[in-house]
Chains A and B, each alone.
Chain A
Amino acid sequence: MKNLTTRSFVTTLGLGLLFLVVTAFLPKENSTELPYNFVKGAVEFESIGELSFSPEGILFFGDTKGASIFALETSDSKSTTNEGINLGDVEEKIGQMMGAASKDISVMDMAVHPSSQNVYLSIMRASGENASYHIVSISKDEKITEVDMRNASHSTFSLSKTPARDATDRRGRSLRTNTITDIAFADGSVYVAGLSNEEFASGFRKVSFPFKKNESLSTLEIFHVAHNQYETHSPIRSFAPYLMNGESTILAGYTCTPLVLFPTSNLKDGDHVKGKTVAELGFGNTPLDILPFTSESGKQVVLIANSNRATMLVTGEDIAKQEALTTGLEGDSILKGTPYEPLPLSGVQQIAELNTEQIALLRRMGDGSLRLYSYPKSRLAS
């Protein structure tokens, strides 16, 4: 009994100390303003699609149905080591928690938290009138947690400009939507690529962060010239901020499949900017995801996941020395420009940098299941 008492006393003391620590960090009433002009409360979105993190761990997501982008505090800053991640049957496991069979779980996008290295996935549960949208995080110990949207520090920015006068349907509502195909944070701004369900036009936009209420939206017209001859206004499907010779650029994969480079300093509202076409990724193919990263030896490389081609690896050196494409394809070639190395990775749907040593891949496996796993950078590039 004496032993028990001592143990309980120690436990009590421990709990007391824990309490002291917890209470000291509790926010006081009338707490100071949140950073980034955030407000705390329910995040009122209509859909969740593309994801991107800022280096500080702010999570951005695109809301196509609500024509908005959101910034969200994830409170997930615990740093970790460079070990990998591995989770099979991703849709099935998320579905088990959310009460849906794997067929009713669609993963829309993936992003990695820069310090915790938890992998964030945007999810559509069910479809049609039952569809709902969620973000889950997956930790290296295979724990799946849903991000709480009922009470989060966040801010939002509307992408719908004051609409010019449009004719509308009988209910007074236009049927036009602008699907957000990719978003990325770079140099204090969020870049948003969009694809309209009506006019076919380049809809690339830039919003500075923290979001300001009255800021106008920069609409950037990025054209690319193929073979020094044809200029199209095709929309961007996937892009990534990319540093070339110290200059901030955007490396963009267009829906008509060229890979195009343009400096961000040239981007001004309403301007007609021409990008340099550095490669053709082939017809009947769509670039799904683009990831630039630094190899172990400090070389810049770019990984490109494709809808109907193998995942490709391109070196920064080759991109830098590639002249703008001026000639058509020759012989049986389907690709042109910057040389690339095809990787034995088919079915890759999403790629993201996990840490300095690993890439995170979300891949559709041969048996139809979806697997999240890490791949050492050293196996991709020296």
Chain B
Amino acid sequence: MLPDSLLIFVKHTSYLQRLASIFILGASLFFVGCGEQEQKSVQLKEPIIPEFAPEIHTSKNNTNVFVSGVFGLNYKAETDFSEFLSVFVIEDDSSWSEKSFPILGSYSYLANEGVLKFTPKYPFLESTEYYVRFDYNSIVQPPVYVEQPNMEFIVDYTFIISKNKTPVTFVKEVYPTTNQIPRNLLKFYVRFSGSMTEGQMLEHLKILDGKGEVVEHAFLEIPQELWGVNRQRLTILFDPGRIKRGMDLLSEVGAPFKIGKEYTLQIDKAWKDGQQRSLTQGFEKTFTIVEDDRTKPDRSNWTISVPLAESKEPLELHFNEPMDYALLNRVIIVLDDQKNHLSGKINLTQEESVWKFIPDNFWKAGSYTLQIKTILEDIAGNNLNAVFDVDLTDEQESVNRKKVFEFINLAFEVN
């Protein structure tokens, strides 16, 4: 391999200059070649024993590994330090072997301080065992020969980074908050008080039946977990293959829940937050399964409660059934008669069946519109355009399916 510096040197020259440089380089390599050959012809009679006593430790914040007390090292700029100083990961229940690959990283030698430094390419991780091995036989020049079989020229060191793990994060709420859950429930949302780690859901979240047995394969199993942007909210989708209609057998065998029975969603406290701490406590939600919900939300059942002008009273939209918690927070906006988007806070009450909007500014008398995206779903995945799985043989459902709108607009007056 040619060193980068040489390539850069050549990059900025003309071809004539390149040829000249090749000649010069060739000549110098020739001399270097001769020199190396001559150096090898020196025979050593006595081994030279190094005088230093190296010690290994890590930096305070565990970002680097240092070997101190390494004075008078015989090295060149191109010396590959990884040949004698290596850091390894040790798996649980195993130990270092010569077959292990060393961790990638960079090395530097501070000659005056007698310190050799290793910086890993990626930061050392908590709760992981690292093994450092400094084999300085080969760096002592000339090398120590095998005539000294009892000489140990290896120092090693093991470290594990552990931090104060006092738990602080907990489950704030699981949505829907209602305890009457339709058998074809599509999803739960779990809200945590802080950010969490990915990839542990199936290990720490279970649904138990009345006998305490785990309901197997209830969730959609995909490698990616459906976290919100800040990793504080997790969406848990039930396996849609077990919810849909059209498979008569599935209504008995496939559906994860049985009507009239009680189940418990259980989250154990070993689930790790974003800083690898356990939760402060586990969480349980017990619910009863009721009939499937196979109807799309019907706007004729909704009522609006309108505030008075010059007040900051909430505007209320009553759905008369629990709706999807996340979508309620996102897909409904209030527009004034100039189509300006009013700013304010959203509150959900009565088990997410009432949406409340508290404006930042006082209501002014006039005409307003509540604009609701039709992707709004109830808790069984039926949205404002269609039910979760449209029965095309059902005339009403089929006709509705063809009338797809992006929004539903509800007009109201503030007086």
Contacts and interface: CB of A to CB of B under 8 A. Distances in A.
Given A20-B22, A128-B197, A197-B227, A308 B222 contact: no
Contact of B392 (A97, A230, A237): A230
B353 interface: no
Contact of A175 (B104, B187, B230): B230
A228 B37 contact: no
Interface stretch (A8-16, A75-83, A183-191, A373-381): A8-16
B228 A104 contact: no
Contacts of B345: 170
A15 B25 contact: yes
Interface in B315-338: 324, 326-327, 329-333
A288 B197 CA distance: 23
A173 B23 contact: no
A129 B26 contact: no
Interface stretch (B42-50, B231-239, B305-313): B231-239
A109 B195 CA distance: 25
Interface residues of A, number: 98
Nearest to B326: A198
A177 B229 contact: yes
Contacts of A227: 246
Contacts of A169: 329
Among B92, B120, B231, which residue has the most Cβ atoms of chain A within 10 A? B231
Contact of A230 (B7, B37, B92, B389): B389
B247 A328 contact: yes
A129 B10 contact: no
A232 B375 CA distance: 14
A169 to B, nearest CB: 7
Given A96-B100, A127-B197, A127-B198, A307 B221 contact: yes
A273 interface: no
Given A19-B25, A128-B273, A165-B333, A230 B391 contact: yes
A65 to B, nearest CB: 8
Contact of B246 (A9, A166, A198, A226): A226
Determine which residue in B124, B246, B329, B404 has the highest number of CB atoms from chain A within 10 A of its CB, and name it: B246
A175 B190 CA distance: 13
Contact of B7 (A26, A29, A195): A26
Interface in B82-100: 87-92, 100
Contacts of B377: 199-200
A98 B101 CA distance: 10
B221 A308 contact: yes
B392 A231 contact: yes
A329 B226 CA distance: 31
A167 B346 CA distance: 9
A234 B222 CA distance: 14
B278 to A, nearest CB: 12
Interface string B388-415: 1111110000000100101000000000
A382 interface: no
B103 interface: yes
A271 B276 CA distance: 45
A15 B157 CA distance: 42
B146 interface: no
A22 B390 contact: no
Interface string A271-310: 0100000001111111010000000000000000001100
Contacts, number: 282
B91 to A, nearest CB: 6
Interface in A208-241: 225-234, 237
A266 interface: no
Contacts of B25: 15-16, 19
Interface stretch (B28-36, B51-59, B71-79, B284-292): B28-36
A175 B326 contact: yes
Interface in B160-192: 186-187
A139 interface: no
B128 interface: yes
A158 interface: no
Contact of A256 (B10, B196, B240, B401): B240
A255 interface: yes
A12 B26 contact: yes
Contacts of A333: 249
A167 to B, nearest CB: 5
Contacts of A104: 125, 128
B206 interface: no
A113 interface: no
B282 interface: no
B386 interface: yes
Contacts of A228: 392
A175 B228 contact: yes
Given A96-B88, A128-B272, A197-B227, A329 B250 contact: yes
A95 B87 CA distance: 12
B222 A237 contact: yes
A106 B223 CA distance: 10
7 contacts: A8-B29, A15-B25, A19-B18, A128-B274, A177-B228, A197-B226, A225-B392
Interface of A: 4-5, 7-9, 11-13, 15-16, 18-20, 22-23, 26, 29, 49, 64-65, 92-93, 95-104, 106, 108, 124-132, 144, 146, 164-170, 173-177, 179-181, 195-201, 225-234, 237, 254-257, 272, 280-286, 288, 307-308, 328-330, 332-333
